[in-house]
A = this chain, B = another copy of it.
Amino acid sequence: MSSVVDTPVIATARRAREAAAELAPLPRAVRDRALLAIADALEARADEIVTANAADVERARAAGTAAGIIDRLTLTPQRVAAIASDVREVVALPDPVGEVVRGSTLPNGLELRQVRVPLGVVGIIYEARPNVTVDAAALCLKSGNAVLLRGSSSAYSSNTAIVRVLRDAVVSAGVPADAVQLVPGESRESVRELMTARGLVDVLIPRGGASLIRTVVNESTVPVIETGVGNCHVYVDESADLETAVRILVNSKAQRPSVCNAAETVLVHAAVAERFLPLALGALAEAGVTVHGDAAWCKAGEQAGVAVTEATDEDWAAEYLSLDIAAAVVDDLDAAVAHIRQWTSGHTEAVVARDTGAVRRFVARMDSAAVMVNASTRFTDGGQFGFGAEIGISTQKLHARGPMGLPELTSTTYVVTGDGHTRE
């Protein structure tokens, strides 16, 4: 119990902690009612939100912000309606809270139940995407958690308006307003305070680019779930059906290159390189992809009349998020494994192979959140996996790995029931 006066951020976290204690025992019906109230309020007060957003957009334009970022920042009545519709989908998802994960009756008659419970206070640190404000709040509420939202300062006006709407809505449903709070302040210092509020904040989830995530991981004393950085690989085995391999490669790279589950490197078994490289170069060029290749790929590019840039270690490490791909020929499957283990960010790797032994060997030697066998890397996604919604894709090994749905926003507690049991 410190006698020092709380900073605004710490005071906010303390209120979140109190709200979390009230929120945790509330049944699903109350939490769902709050979510429906949020969806209704977003639609009813879309004008208020769009007006506040316009101020952020104007500031961003004046500051010469890139068009893509401005697009992600911009809200329209239609976009607000789409966000409200997403909230209604969260309502329909199964309640993770109270799920009995395992249970048994012990030899002495004690009844053991491991039950899912909310984490408590979840902090989300994210970039200039006001839709994340609503998505994150909805998923946290659904899983019984209080949420502290720390968006980009460039969306502060939008987020302030949205959070005002969210708080009014949850209160109308009997949920404490402080279950949803914006972290006050637009300075870096407010992020630092959030990252060191250990004991008040149960987990921080950074959503955004690699540098944001690195900062939070390095500086936070609050436990962090790392999300999203994807240096994903496609390995084409000697046993691959080469046309299938081309389709999977092009889909993995080019179907949506700006996202974390897009492929960034292709590795090809030497035994099929001569046949595969020309096919791949043609298909990648047609999809507008620039290849950063090793000597074999450069040579194949020359022969095919396709420009191939010479790859360096930076290319093996790169998460391009663009129509670029690093490409190498490897001696065998084990060399592909070694390359991937050296350079991967641990997100998703794909193997294209017909030989079951090769598939088993590859899968057993990966150390990533997801391994795709004869499928595109683009499938690593909470929606695709049938989780309904995701708060991010974890690339760490503790607690959650891969697409994080509602269960990953919970902890568990053991409830042990006896009738006066004591230990001998």
Contacts and interface: CB of A to CB of B under 8 A. Distances in A.
Given A120-B397, A241-B420, A385-B112, A413 B373 contact: no
A174 to B, nearest CB: 16
B247 A420 contact: yes
A251 interface: yes
Contacts of A64: none
Interface string A369-388: 11111111011100011100
A313 B2 CA distance: 13
Interface in A228-264: 241, 244, 247-248, 251, 255
B119 A397 contact: yes
Copies in the complex: 2
Contacts of A368: 413
Nearest to A18: B341
A401 interface: yes
A419 interface: yes
Contact of A414 (B112, B202, B241, B380): B380
A23 B378 CA distance: 29
A374 to B, nearest CB: 5
A418 interface: yes
Interface stretch (A131-139, A293-301, A359-367): A359-367
B416 A370 contact: yes
B367 A419 contact: no
A423 B251 contact: yes
A157 interface: no
B397 A364 contact: no
A255 B422 contact: yes
A106 B403 CA distance: 15
Contacts of A24: 364-365, 367
A51 interface: no
A310 B42 CA distance: 55
Nearest to A337: B21
A112 B379 CA distance: 10
Interface in A141-164: none
A21 B367 contact: yes
Interface residues on A, range: 35 or more
A223 interface: yes
A415 interface: yes
A421 interface: yes
Contacts of A241: 420
B416 A341 contact: no
A421 B379 contact: yes
A162 B371 CA distance: 38
A384 B411 CA distance: 21
A365 B21 contact: yes
B365 A251 contact: no
A375 B421 contact: yes
Nearest to A226: B223
Contacts of A417: 373-375
A25 B398 contact: no
A364 B411 contact: no
A384 B366 CA distance: 35
A190 interface: no
Contacts of A107: 386
A370 B413 contact: yes
Given A21-B367, A371-B413, A402-B413, 6 more contacts: A106-B385, A112-B385, A217-B221, A244-B419, A370-B416, A379-B423
22 contacts: A1-B313, A21-B341, A24-B364, A106-B384, A106-B385, A117-B367, A119-B397, A203-B398, A217-B221, A225-B398, A244-B420, A255-B422, A373-B415, A374-B420, A375-B420, A376-B422, A379-B418, A379-B423, A380-B416, A385-B414, A401-B412, A402-B414
